[in-house]
């Protein structure tokens, strides 16, 4: 298994539609060498349908390892075919989406909807594993609509893990509400229940769990790991505040020595990448698509507001990456561009919600004990 070559997934960046594409992943890897990267979710049907054009969707630079492909689907034949097609690209793991609450996904009867059908999920995971040679994982929530008890979550985890090769679950610690909330609302309105996550760690000692949901800083990542999380996945904060969040990952989470990397160095390498792929597929990617991952790069830094205004104007007239930077980079002071990464000091008095959650653990479900006896 290729994943043994890399540090464990103590920190990973969540799969996000229209965000974690090749361009953002390239930027993220320039900032952090150790963070685990995820693709956007690709529907199995899309992979099968685009089999003559898959490089546009699935190809990635080899420096992006470790990288995980996320797929979704509700047809086992298509899931098998998609896995076969994707396997040649050399992803380090394949993740199956059981947590996306978007109407499009629900209409296709996959994503979050699948948490109500653990047998199908187990079958899908077995199919994915049989058609690839890398570990398979599931990303899910803690419940769906009124099916949100800890017992029901344990039933899902137990059935999928006991009936398939799945040994690693990424747990978004909110339930999802189908129909009643938008995907954006589902990221914030349902309450976080970290106690469910830590109870899973307690009750399934032979499985690996990554914590996801509501985590926005490196301090929070470190606190969750200190309280026993196997790994932590961060989503929008990594995309919208990429430098401030990702620059600390290697030293603060993985213990690597400070790299001394600066924003100017990252931009020079990213610009070289952007120039190399501009218009690779006809009119795509264009300048706007290539610059989009950088819109959070100067978050809260002096000059950020002016840079964004200049970027908006440059998008209207610049057809090359070099001309875009010539128009915009003057907005950012040299002191920002040339400041090296410095490991942030811990925030004094940070509320440790994860330690508090461990005081709220639900009891182990009796149904889990009965199932273990039946299979012993």
Query: Can you give the pLDDT at residue 179?
Result: 79
Sheet arrangement for strand 168-172: 11-13, 231-234, 208-212, 168-172, 136-141, 93-98, 67-72, 37-43
Q: Has 109 been annotated as catalytic?
A: no
> Each residue of 179-218: pLDDT tens digit?
777 888 888 788 999 999 999 999 999 999 999 999 999 9
Q: Is residue 346 over pLDDT 70?
A: no
Please give the average per-residue pLDDT across 365-369, as a whole number. 71
d(CA 321, CA 294): 12
Query: Can you give the pLDDT at residue 100?
Result: 85
- In the chain, alpha helices (H): 22-31, 44-49, 55-58, 76-87, 103-107, 118-130, 150-162, 183-186, 194-203, 218-226, 236-240, 242-246, 263-277, 287-291, 304-315, 321-328, 334-337, 353-358, 366-374
Please give the average per-residue pLDDT across 66-91, as a whole number. 97
Q: Per the residue annotation, which of 98, 100, 140, 154 is the catalytic one?
A: 100
Query: Can you give the pLDDT at residue 349?
Result: 43
Query: Can you give the pLDDT at residue 188?
Result: 77
Q: How many CB atoms lie within 10 A of CB 54?
A: 18
As a whole-number percent, the residues of the chain with pLDDT over 90 amount to 85
Please give the average per-residue pLDDT across 110-115, as a whole number. 90
Q: Is residue 16 over pLDDT 50?
A: yes
Please give the average per-residue pLDDT across 15-39, as a whole number. 97
Query: Can you give the pLDDT at residue 376?
Result: 38
| Tokens 């509501």, residue located | 214
Output the average pLDDT for the chain: 92
- Residue 122's alpha-carbon distances to 4, 11, 293, 365, 369, in angstroms, are 24, 26, 35, 21, 20
Query: Can you give the pLDDT at residue 366?
Result: 79
> Each residue of 267-279: pLDDT tens digit?
999 999 999 999 9
Strand partners, 340: 262
Confidence of residue 300 (pLDDT cuts 50, 70, 90): very high
* Between residues 323 and 259, the one the model is more confident about: 323
Please give the average per-residue pLDDT across 275-292, as a whole number. 97
d(CA 94, CA 133): 10
Confidence of residue 374 (pLDDT cuts 50, 70, 90): very low
- Residue 258's alpha-carbon distances to 31, 250, 347, in angstroms, are 12, 8, 19
Confidence of residue 154 (pLDDT cuts 50, 70, 90): very high
As a whole-number percent, the residues of the chain with pLDDT over 70 amount to 92
Q: Is residue 3 over pLDDT 70?
A: no
d(CA 271, CA 273): 5
């Amino acid at each position: 298994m290729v994943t043994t070559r890399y540090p464990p997934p103590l920190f990973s960046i969540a799969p996000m539609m229209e965000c974690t594409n090749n361009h953002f992943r390239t930027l993220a890897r320039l900032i952090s060498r150790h963070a685990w990267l995820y693709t956007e979710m690709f529907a199995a049907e899309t992979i099968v349908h685009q089999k003559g054009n898959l490089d546009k969707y699935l190809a990635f630079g080899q420096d992006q390892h470790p990288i995980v492909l996320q797929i979704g689907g509700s047809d086992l034949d298509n899931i098998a075919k998609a896995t076969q097609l994707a396997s040649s690209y050399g992803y380090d793991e394949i993740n199956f989406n059981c947590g996306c609450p978007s109407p499009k996904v629900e209409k296709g009867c996959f994503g979050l909807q699948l948490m109500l059908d653990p047998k199908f999920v187990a079958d899908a995971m077995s199919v994915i594993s049989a058609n690839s040679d890398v570990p398979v994982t599931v990303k899910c929530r803690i419940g769906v609509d009124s099916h949100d008890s800890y017992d029901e979550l344990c039933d899902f985890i137990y059935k999928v893990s006991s009936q398939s090769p799945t040994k690693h679950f990424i747990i978004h610690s909110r339930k999802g509400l189908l129909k009643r909330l938008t995907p954006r609302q589902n990221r914030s309105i349902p309450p976080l229940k970290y106690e469910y996550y830590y109870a899973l760690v307690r009750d399934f000692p032979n499985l690996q769990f990554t914590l996801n949901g509501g985590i926005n800083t490196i301090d929070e990542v470190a606190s969750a790991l200190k309280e026993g999380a196997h790994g932590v996945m961060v989503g929008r904060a990594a995309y919208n505040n990429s430098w401030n969040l990702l620059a600390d990952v290697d030293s603060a989470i993985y213990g690597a020595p400070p790299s001394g990397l600066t924003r100017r160095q990252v931009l020079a390498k990213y610009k070289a990448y952007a120039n190399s792929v501009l218009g690779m597929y006809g009119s795509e990617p264009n300048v706007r698509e290539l610059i989009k991952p950088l819109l959070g790069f100067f978050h809260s830094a002096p000059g950020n507001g002016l840079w964004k205004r200049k970027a908006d104007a440059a998008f209207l007239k610049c057809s090359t990456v070099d001309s875009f930077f010539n128009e915009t980079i003057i907005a950012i002071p040299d002191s920002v561009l040339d400041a090296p990464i410095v490991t942030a000091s811990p925030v004094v008095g940070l509320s440790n919600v994860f330690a508090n959650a461990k005081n709220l653990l639900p009891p182990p479900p009796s149904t889990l004990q009965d199932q273990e006896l039946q299979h012993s």
